[in-house]
Amino acid sequence: MIGTTSRAALAVALIAGLSACGNDDSGREANPLLIAAKSAAQTATRIRGAGKPQQTAAPRTPEQMATEALRVNPGPLILVGFESLGRNQVMAMTGQNGSTRTYMTPSEEALILRNGMVIGTRGLGNDLSVAESGTEALIHAGRSGQARRVMRYFSGDGLERPLEFDCSTAPGPKPGVVVESCSGHGAKFQNNYLPQGGQIPVSRQWLGPKLGYVTLQVLRP
């Protein structure tokens, strides 16, 4: 049986590996694990340079966050890395309707997933109202093909604004990884998935022009 610490370390390693596969056309390529490590190092440098006697706690690493969450929460959990925000967050499942699950933070930021694919966000700002992906079956089957993706966003007037993208799926550079490449409205993005048994335990997915990419790892299904 894999212990809590080992599962947390495995989760971090899987996310790091999948993030390395990603191709962010916005020029904001960033591994959230490296961001966390860099932030901790910069904090330590500032403390030494200022010569202050007090100690400032370094930010918790994703592995530490995952270990603590697995210890205190018995329910389904995911570890999410927000690349554009430079932070990581553990989210707990707060609701389920069939294959659709809602995962939320204590501050009520939420991701809505269907079989591992993000279909909505709440409380993050510039939220994705709903995503309708014609590539879902292709991704879960690990097959190449083409389909359309529609992503609807909340606008300032409270209405949904749809963006349509032409997408194709193909095997990725690493075994088992499926790459979904999409373009439309002057934007290009690439999602990476590791489908297993009808689920997607590890992925890197684009939420939209403002929110950018997130990496997701299932800590407890």
Query: Residue 201's closest CA among 5, 13, 4, 6?
Result: 13
Which residue did the predictor score with more confidence, 7 or 165?
165
pLDDT band at residue 62, thresholds of 50, 70 and 90? confident
pLDDT at 34 over 70: no
CATH of the domain spanning 4-220: 2.40.360.10
pLDDT tens digit sequence for 11-23: 555 555 565 565 5
Q: How far is CA 212 from CA 28, 59, 149, 177, 206, in A?
A: 9, 23, 16, 20, 5
Q: What is the mean pLDDT of residues 157-162?
A: 85
Lowest average pLDDT, out of 59-63, 65-69, 82-86, goes to 59-63
pLDDT for 14 equals 57
pLDDT for 10 equals 53
| DSSP codes of every residue in the chain | ---HHHHHHHHHHHHHHHHHH---TTS----HHHHHHHHHHHHHHHHHHHT-SS--PPPPPHHHHHHHHHHH--S-EEEEEETTTTEEEEEEEEEEETTEEEEE-TT--EEEEETTEEEEEESSSS-EEEEEETTHHHHHHT--EEEEEEEEEE-TTS-EEEEEEEEEEEE-SSTT-EEEEEEETTEEEEEEEEEETTEEEEEEEEEETTTEEEEEEEEE-
CB 85 within 8 A of CB 28: no
pLDDT for 19 equals 58
What is the average pLDDT value for the chain, to the nearest integer? 82
Q: What is the pTM of this model?
A: 0.76
pLDDT band at residue 80, thresholds of 50, 70 and 90? very high
> How buried is 116 (Cβ within 10 angstroms: 0-12 exposed, 13-18 middle, 19+ buried)?
buried
pLDDT for 4 equals 55
Domain boundaries, the chain: 4-220
Take residue 32 and report the two structure tokens written for it. Answer: 């959230």
Which residue did the predictor score with more confidence, 205 or 45?
205
